[in-house]
Amino acid sequence: MEAATQTTSAPGRRVDRDRLYVGGAWVEPAGRATLEVVNAATEEVMGSVPRGTPEDVDVAVGAAREAFDGWAATPAAERAAFCTAISAGLQDRQEELALLISSELGMPVGLSAMIQVGLPVMSFASQAQLVEQVAWEETVGNSLVVREPAGVVGAITPWNYPLHQIAAKVAPALTAGCTVVLKPSEVTPLNAFVLAEVIDAAGLPPGVFNLVTGTGPEVGEAIAAHPGVDMVSFTGSTRAGRRVSELAARTVKPVALELGGKSPNVILDDADLERAVVDGVSKCFLNSGQTCSALTRMLVPRAQLAAAEQIATAAAEAARVGEPLDPATRLGPLVSDVQRERVRGYIAKGVAEGARLVTGGAEPPEGLDRGYYVRPTVFSDVTPEMTIAQEEIFGPVLAILPYDDEDDAVRIANDSDYGLAGGVWSGDEERAKAVARRLRTGQVEINGGVFNPLAPFGGYKQSGHGRELGRFALEEYLQVKSLQL
């Protein structure tokens, strides 16, 4: 069935949504309050969504609970087939979604089409293959061990890769046999309504997927604390992750967390320095630095520090900042004024603590006074204890740290509360892999190895626990039962 207000991707047109998707229908929310969505490049209101309430969450959880038994009993291959249909529906609306997400978030539209929409299409499409990789039943001695869906899943997702993070949770949860109550970020929520329309068109049984928009303190906390929710999957800040865990603990429900990062990029002394630094700058600045796994700490041999600075400066200054709908743009704005001020504050702190600013700074890029833009920024002579080397900035800010030898590099790389991602560069791949094994982090790029959407994604330490993507994500949403025969 159709949503109450249709999405439009035309630039400058408002996208106002006045209903939630619950129980297979577009329903009026319990309250009348709304949340404005702001275009990151123009600073103008581009639409609005309902400001959901705990009452809305309660209705959605009830619908998910009612749908659970029937969905769990549906053959896994059939559940995966629904995901295939959803993938096709997203693909059909790829251009619309890319324009919408670029307006909400600020990522250049070409990258949005490839990453922000392309990865969700893959996440749903891969389920038909992944469902065959799960040992749904196996014999262990005199026991039949079976894997069953975890139950009703509360999915709480972030603003930086909005549809990708939704798909990374919803697709495996549905395939596992779970029903879902989704709360997308209130900063970039409009794309979730397109997904709901696609799901509705695919004919998913009522209540299997439910969408409730709202704020974290109202809707997110209501989901995490709800006794009818069997599991929570959360992606966001470490601070918010602690709060979700605290609320979920009251009903002893499992929580999967994908949180912050401060990822090291270790360039060893035998690496191709030019290639390594240029790639590292790109990995740091992707999505204007608003990436939890961004390689924001570049570790280089002390003897090569000056050369690395020169290469990084040239790469940063060559990155064209501009309107996200301009095909020539490589870096768009940050998502909001709040985020821009946060990043500016970290740049100021870097200068105050003695890091050397080699390019960029807190001032807006020339000619871009409107929009939440920040200049691509590189600091050098950063020491491990500095704030910009320890805290997640979430903006286009690179910290270059010198090290003395390989052991020193590993020590600095692991000197972090986080452990989400990392990189190692070496002329000897075996040496690079040996160093990568020493890093306390969930994934490591070797010589710029490309992102694999079927490999497990998740972190060590305060970057969270649990894994997303591929077969590993599917297993997160399954419980194990032993039948003693």
CATH code of 15-259+463-484, in short, is: 3.40.605.10
How large is the C-alpha radius of gyration of the chain?
22
Catalytic residue among 104, 197, 221, 258: 258
The pLDDT value recorded for residue 8 is 41
| Active-site residue identified among 83, 178, 284, 292 | 292
pLDDT at 363: 87
Q: Residue 13: its pLDDT value, please?
A: 82
Rounded CA separation 286/398 (Å):
12
pLDDT of residue 7: 40
pLDDT, residue 12, reads 61
Contact 373, 364 (CB under 8 A): yes
Alpha carbons 261 and 459: distance in angstroms, whole number: 8
Three-state secondary structure string covering the chain: CCCCCCCCCCCCCCEECCCEEECCEEECCCCCCEEEEECCCCCCEEEEEECCCHHHHHHHHHHHHHHHHHHHHCCHHHHHHHHHHHHHHHHHCHHHHHHHHHHHHCCCHHHHHHHHHHHHHHHHHCHHHHHHHCCCEEEECCEEEEEEECCEEEEECCCCCHHHHHHHHHHHHHHHCCEEEEECCCCCCHHHHHHHHHHHHHCCCCCCEEECCCCHHHHHHHHHHCCCCCEEEEECCHHHHHHHHHHHHCCCCCEEEECCCCCEEEECCCCCHHHHHHHHHHHHHHHHHCCCCCCCEEEEEHHHHHHHHHHHHHHHHHCCECCCCCCCCCECCCCCHHHHHHHHHHHHHHHHCCCEEEECCCCCCCCCCCCCCCCCEEEECCCCCCHHHHCCCCCCEEEEEEECCHHHHHHHHHCCCEECEEEEECCCHHHHHHHHHHCCCCEEEECCCCCCCCCCECCEECCEECCECHHHHHHHCEEEEEEEC
Residue 292 among the catalytic residues: yes
pLDDT of residue 451: 94
One digit per residue, the tens of pLDDT, for the chain of length 485 reads: 333 333 444 556 899 999 999 999 999 999 999 999 999 999 999 999 999 999 999 999 999 999 999 999 999 999 999 999 999 999 999 999 999 999 999 999 999 999 999 999 999 999 999 999 999 999 999 999 999 999 999 999 999 999 999 999 999 999 999 999 999 999 999 999 999 999 999 999 999 999 999 999 999 999 999 999 999 999 999 999 999 999 999 999 999 999 999 999 999 999 999 999 999 999 999 999 999 999 999 999 999 999 999 999 999 999 999 999 999 999 999 999 999 999 999 999 999 999 999 999 998 899 998 999 999 999 999 999 999 999 999 999 999 999 999 999 999 999 999 999 999 999 999 999 999 999 999 999 999 999 999 999 999 999 999 999 999 999 999 999 999 99
Q: What token pair was written down for 152?
A: 């009703």
Q: Is 197 a catalytic residue?
A: no
| Residue found by looking up tokens 């909400």 in the block | 104
Provide the residue ranges of all domains of the chain, joining segments of one domain with +: 15-259+463-484, 264-452
State pLDDT tens for residues 69-103.
Answer: 999 999 999 999 999 999 999 999 999 999 999 99
CA distance 445 to 463: 17
- Look-up of token digits 């075996």: 430
Q: Which fold is adopted by the domain 264-452?
A: Aldehyde Dehydrogenase; Chain A, domain 2 (3.40.309)
pLDDT, position 9: 43
Q: Return the bridge partners of 418, or none.
A: 461
Whether 97 and 191 have beta carbons less than 8 Å apart is answered as yes
Instruction: Specify which residues 35 forms β-bridges with.
Output: 49
pLDDT, residue 26, reads 98
